């Protein structure tokens, strides 16, 4: 090793420590614990090296610490969208749904740039964790996650799936002479060998969860084939999320012990009871009834009734949107938070919605013990709002303060993303 290289490696190793050397102290007016549905007044939170080091009402603030006054705010863990598509942005209009055209015409590079923008607006709206489930062209989702982890850009913690795996054709119906157009939106996997290879391909190229189409075609997966997905993903410590469209597909996924069922149109009381018994997550993606993109009133009522049934059956539920479209005048973060309308229509109490958007989100993302809750030793992610979300969940529509990894991203309602552009490539060298 040359002397110059040795000095460079030493400096690169030391840089993150130097950046985070100063202790940060937060004076918190109300610290909300979504897991218990309670709020503690007048707390002090200490943060050092990007992690929580002390949380109590009478913590001594070290000399020289940066003190941030949040005494007029309700502070809580960051929010989670458990089903989003950051690298897909098409115009959603009744007369012009350009989803399929977008996947063909937009390059991986431009979709990665779109993902950066969408991720930043998600952070601004208080979402510090996003489970990104495919439709990301040729692994633009992995590129986004690595760029965030390396410090090139600000963005939420990403639990990304890589390319969606399905039976021949995925969700598309291409012409025979253009059947290859489904790639890279979908990976064909129709035999046990192809299933294993597709799972391993996604893991190799950076997936943190495996997404499959359970029944996107009449030749959907059997329970045994889904079990193979679960087993193969489990070798690498990953969970399997299943896009489900039919009741029969839902029952097969439940029988196979899938981690989560994405979308809810095929779920009924029978499915919910079985899911509750097995602890399978319901990631429902119920679009709110509105003027921009919505089911008709009858469909919306069926969605809300389904949410009520799942809640009554004690199914594990996650806040999830399937947001993959552009609405004029709204950021991706604003589109996502508007899904509160669906949860309110289902008459689910504000404390429960908040728990679903935080604690449940960390659990379905399988990171609960690693990131999310405001606990000593975990990364310092949190948000602050002006009103009590335990009383009115719409308080989350106006996030005034966002911190991730101990770095302030938004303060007094104003984004400060430049603070994240400090680490360059020192946090990692490979796309992994």
Rounded distance between C-alpha atoms, residue 227 and residue 247, angstroms: 18
Domain assignment present for 204: yes
pLDDT per position as a tens digit, 121-170? 999 999 999 999 999 999 999 999 999 999 899 999 999 999 999 999 99
* Count of CB atoms situated within 10 Å of the CB of 129: 25
Q: Give the residue from 315, 333, 364 where a domain finishes.
A: 364
The reply to whether 133 and 265 lie within a common domain is yes
Rounded distance between C-alpha atoms, residue 274 and residue 268, angstroms: 10
How far, rounded to the nearest angstrom, does the alpha carbon of residue 397 sit from its chain's CA centroid? Answer: 18
Q: What is the pTM of this model?
A: 0.92
The reply to whether 181 and 167 lie within a common domain is yes
The reply to whether 280 and 344 lie within a common domain is yes
User: What is the predicted pLDDT for the residue at 14?
Assistant: 41
* Count of CB atoms situated within 10 Å of the CB of 55: 18
Indicate the SS3 state at residue 211. strand
Domain assignment present for 430: no
Predicted confidence band of residue 421 (pLDDT cuts 50, 70, 90): confident
pLDDT, average across residues 294-301: 80
**pLDDT-above-90 percentage for the chain:** 81
Is 5 a residue whose pLDDT tops 50?
Answer: no
Rounded distance between C-alpha atoms, residue 291 and residue 279, angstroms: 35
User: What is the predicted pLDDT for the residue at 420?
Assistant: 77
Q: Give the residue from 336, 364, 392 where a domain finishes.
A: 364
User: What is the predicted pLDDT for the residue at 96?
Assistant: 58
Any idea which of 13-17, 50-54, 275-279 has the lowest mean pLDDT? 13-17
Predicted confidence band of residue 328 (pLDDT cuts 50, 70, 90): confident
The reply to whether 63 and 130 lie within a common domain is no
Give the DSSP H or E segment for 10.
helix 3-19
CATH of the domain at 293: 3.20.20.140
User: Exposure of 160 by Cβ count < 10 A (0-12 exposed, 13-18 middle, 19+ buried)?
Assistant: buried
Give the residue with greater pLDDT, 241 vs 291: 241
Q: Give the residue from 314, 332, 364 where a domain finishes.
A: 364
Domain assignment present for 158: yes
pLDDT per position as a tens digit, 105-127? 899 999 999 999 999 999 999 99
* Count of CB atoms situated within 10 Å of the CB of 67: 11
Predicted confidence band of residue 98 (pLDDT cuts 50, 70, 90): confident
The reply to whether 98 and 67 lie within a common domain is no
Predicted confidence band of residue 429 (pLDDT cuts 50, 70, 90): very low
* Selection from 49, 46, 42 nearest residue 67 by Cα: 46
Rounded distance between C-alpha atoms, residue 221 and residue 216, angstroms: 9
The reply to whether 158 and 189 lie within a common domain is yes
Is 283 a residue whose pLDDT tops 50?
Answer: yes
User: What is the predicted pLDDT for the residue at 91?
Assistant: 76
Any idea which of 27-41, 203-217, 222-236, 295-309 has the lowest mean pLDDT? 295-309
Is 416 a residue whose pLDDT tops 60?
Answer: yes
Domain assignment present for 56: yes
User: Number of folded domains in the chain?
Assistant: 2
**What sections of 45-191 are H helices per DSSP?**
99-105, 108-124, 140-150
Q: Which domain holds residue 16?
A: 3-77+373-423
Rounded distance between C-alpha atoms, residue 146 and residue 129, angstroms: 14
User: What is the predicted pLDDT for the residue at 356?
Assistant: 98
The reply to whether 308 and 197 lie within a common domain is yes
């Amino acid at each position: 090793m040359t002397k110059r290289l040795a000095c460079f490696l030493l400096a690169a190793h030391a840089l993150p420590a130097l950046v985070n050397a100063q202790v940060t102290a937060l004076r918190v007016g109300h610290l909300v614990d979504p897991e218990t549905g309670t709020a503690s007044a007048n707390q002090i939170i200490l943060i050092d090296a990007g992690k929580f080091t002390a949380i109590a009402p009478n913590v001594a603030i070290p000399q020289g610490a940066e003190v941030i006054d949040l005494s007029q705010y309700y502070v809580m863990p960051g929010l989670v969208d458990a089903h989003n598509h950051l690298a897909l942005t098409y115009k959603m209009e009744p007369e012009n749904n350009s989803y399929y055209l977008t996947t063909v015409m937009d390059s991986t590079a431009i979709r990665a740039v779109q993902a950066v923008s969408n991720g930043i607006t998600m952070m601004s709206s208080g979402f510090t964790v996003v489970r990104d489930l495919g439709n990301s062209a040729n692994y633009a989702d992995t590129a986004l996650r690595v760029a965030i982890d390396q410090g090139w850009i600000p963005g939420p913690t990403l639990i990304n799936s890589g390319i969606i795996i399905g039976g021949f054709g995925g969700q598309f119906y291409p012409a025979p002479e253009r059947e290859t157009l489904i790639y890279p939106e979908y990976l064909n996997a129709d035999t046990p060998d192809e299933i294993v290879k597709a799972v391993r391909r996604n893991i190799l190229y950076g997936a943190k969860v495996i997404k499959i189409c359970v029944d996107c075609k009449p030749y959907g997966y059997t329970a045994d084939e889904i079990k193979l997905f679960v087993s193969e993903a489990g070798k690498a410590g990953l969970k399997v999320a299943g896009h489900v469209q039919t009741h029969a597909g839902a029952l097969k996924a439940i029988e196979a012990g899938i981690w989560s069922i994405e979308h809810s149109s095929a779920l009924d009381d029978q499915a919910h009871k079985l899911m509750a018994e097995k602890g399978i997550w319901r990631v429902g993606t119920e679009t709110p009834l509105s003027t921009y993109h919505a089911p008709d009133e009858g469909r919306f009522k069926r969605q809300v009734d389904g949410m009520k049934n799942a809640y009554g059956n004690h199914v594990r539920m996650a806040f999830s949107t399937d947001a993959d479209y552009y609405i004029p005048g709204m950021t991706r973060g604003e589109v996502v938070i508007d899904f509160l309308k669906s949860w309110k229509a289902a008459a689910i109490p504000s404390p429960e919605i908040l728990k679903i958007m935080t604690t449940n989100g960390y659990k379905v993302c399988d990171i609960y013990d690693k990131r999310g809750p405001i606990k000593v030793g975990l990364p310092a992610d949190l948000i602050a709002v002006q009103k009590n979300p335990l009383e009115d969940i719409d308080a989350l529509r106006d996030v005034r303060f966002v911190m991730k990894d101990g770095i302030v991203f938004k303060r007094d309602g104003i984004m400060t993303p430049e603070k994240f552009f400090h680490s360059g490539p020192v946090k990692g060298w490979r796309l992994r």
